[in-house]
């Protein structure tokens, strides 16, 4: 899937990458856990905000319909 990424998304993902790289240097497990939670929030927000480019919507639409069919049959 091809997606367009704006400045806000780039800032979010670069912050998450930087924080993830600094986790090893944090001695306090509580603070380390808080930082990892923040990284998870940033990455989840980044992924949830992705939108396929207009020319790539048909391929992702097919995948979504397959997922919906699978979900219905599993439920």
Token representation of residue 21: 């790289």
**pLDDT at 75 (0 to 100):** 47
Alpha-carbon gap, residue 64 to 59, rounded angstroms: 9
Chain segment 24-75, per-residue pLDDT in tens: 999 999 999 999 999 999 999 888 888 888 876 555 455 555 445 444 444 4
First-to-last CA distance in the chain? 27
Q: Residue 17 above 90 pLDDT?
A: yes
Kindly list the domain boundaries of the chain, sorted by start residue. Answer: 7-74
**pLDDT at 53 (0 to 100):** 80
SS3 content of the chain, % helix, strand, coil (to 5): 80, 5, 15
Mean pLDDT of 4-24: 88
Can you give the pTM of this predicted structure?
0.63
């Amino acid at each position: 899937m091809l997606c367009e990424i704006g400045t806000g998304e780039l800032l979010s993902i670069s912050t998450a990458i930087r924080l993830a790289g600094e986790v090893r240097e944090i001695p306090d497990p509580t603070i380390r856990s808080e930082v990892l939670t923040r990284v998870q929030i940033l990455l989840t927000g980044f992924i949830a905000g992705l939108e396929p480019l207009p020319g790539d919507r048909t391929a992702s639409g097919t995948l979504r319909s397959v997922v919906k069919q699978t979900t219905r049959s599993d439920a």
